[in-house]
Amino acid sequence: MFGGFALFALAAGLPAWLAAGLLLAGAATHTVGEMIGSGGQWGVQMGLAPLERQGQYQGLAGMSFSLASILAPPLVAFLCIDWGRPGWLVMGALVLGAALANVPASGWALRTRARYRVTMHTG
């Protein structure tokens, strides 16, 4: 997704034909990132949830989507519209940072399942 945001940022101020090409490439890159991210999100959400707590994990995931729906519009308006090119890169860095932080957090959760008596899972 960072790559898609970077391509969006690069499109500013270019001739229309070149900007359109970069925007299309950015949209395709972003779409692939969304698909990979959705698969990863589903794996974490369902794979870490004990069978007896699937509903609780689903509720927390749903709440996080609601929170994102509240925070994203003003953040996107501020970064991507007000800041322009640097804002797109900051937005991409935020998404990349969240993704990179998820890797060790998920690894820790899997490694410490037995310690916290979370032994049943679907993943």
What's the rounded Cα separation, in Å, for the pair 20 and 123? 41
Whether the per-residue pLDDT at 114 is higher than 80: the answer is no
pTM of the model: 0.80
Helix axes 54-76, 16-47, angle to 10 degrees: 160
Of the chain, the percentage scoring pLDDT greater than 70 comes to: 96
What's the rounded Cα separation, in Å, for the pair 104 and 30? 23
Contact predicate 39/50, CB 8 Å: no
List the structure tokens of 120. Answer: 């049943």
Q: What is the pLDDT of residues 75-98, one digit of tens each?
A: 999 999 999 999 999 999 999 999
List the structure tokens of 83. Answer: 């800041």
